[in-house]
Amino acid sequence: MPPKAYLKQYLTIEELKIRYRQAPDTIESRRWHLLLLIAQQWSIKKAAKVVGLNYDYAKEIVGRYNREGPESVKNRNKYRQPPPAKSLLTPEEQQELLVALKGPAPDGGAWSGPKVADWIAKKTGRDHVWPQRGWDYLKKFGIEWKKK
């Protein structure tokens, strides 16, 4: 039989139960449930299986709780900001594109997402730029594509 896990007594079993039931999302709820079961003398392996977590991840949760306390149980993913999107064009190149968009496309027709993407690829020396990025720049500059 696996040894029982050690859990620092930051909170009573009743407080763990309250936090489990009042968790704002499922990630935190599962973590509190795991800690509640371990506080009730369950092994990490058995508690992880019941809660539906990977054993190694469950060990990590218990270890972090023992080191950092109740704050460590929070779902930090909710507070992460996605990295800012990298612009394909520098501000100067964007100005050049804006000037180019005021005239006809290289083929003489109207500008479209794929045509803007080709312009960007040639300007930046890239092998390929997805047509969606061309559409993104058309939208950014407020230029509407109209089918003739």
Q: What is the pLDDT of residues 26-80, one digit of tens each?
A: 999 999 999 999 999 999 999 999 999 999 999 999 999 999 999 999 988 877 7
CA-to-CA dists, residue 118 to 2, 66, 75, 141, angstroms: 62, 55, 42, 17
126: left (phi over 0), alpha (psi -120 to 50) or beta: beta
Q: What is the pLDDT of residue 48?
A: 96
Query: Alpha-carbon distance 146 to 148, whole Å?
Result: 6
- Report pLDDT digits (tens) over 79-127: 777 777 788 999 999 999 999 999 899 888 889 999 999 999 999 999 9
- Quote the radius of gyration of the chain (alpha carbons, Å): 27
Which DSSP string do the residues of 59-80 spell out, in sequence order? Answer: HHHHHHHHHH-GGGGS-GGGGP
Average pLDDT over residues 14-27: 95
- The CB-side HSE value for 22 (13 A sphere, CA atoms) comes to 6
Q: What is the pLDDT of residue 84?
A: 75
